Amino acid sequence: MSVVVALLATVLAPPLLLAAYIFWVAVLPAIQALPRHRQLKASGLQGPEASFLLGNSPQLVARPVHQQVLDWVRKYGPIFRLAFPGISVSPDYPFLATQMRANRC
């Protein structure tokens, strides 16, 4: 009986540890970011659609980052929402400088 338990422990432990790691690293942060993402979406801040777990990462990997960001600037304006999760991005330097001074970043 103890041999069966030991065998099951060695067979089942790695997949369970991997599942726990994936949950901790990917799923839990995505779940925690949902309220912030919903708040940004409700505020009217526009941005590209994002997947639940990966956010906008696949869109940034699909083509050069600067081209993708420029397309988003053309489509959504200088301030838009990205999901990494729920980060607001602005390529407008004067706006960023003003916001950073106001928030003392």
Whole-number pLDDT of residue 74: 92
Separation CA 95–CA 60 (nearest Å): 23
3-state secondary structure of 47: coil
3-state secondary structure of 77: coil
Separation CA 70–CA 78 (nearest Å): 9
For the chain, how many structural domains are there in total? 1
Whole-number pLDDT of residue 62: 85
Whole-number pLDDT of residue 37: 63
Amino acid code (one letter) for 104:
R
Structure tokens at 72: 């988003």
Whole-number pLDDT of residue 104: 66
pLDDT in tens, the chain (105 residues): 577 777 666 777 778 788 888 777 777 777 776 676 666 666 677 888 887 777 788 888 888 888 888 899 899 888 887 877 556 566 666 776 776 677 665
Amino acid code (one letter) for 78:
P
Whole-number pLDDT of residue 98: 77
Domain range for residue 12? 2-103
Whole-number pLDDT of residue 96: 67
pTM to 2 decimal places: 0.52
Whole-number pLDDT of residue 8: 64
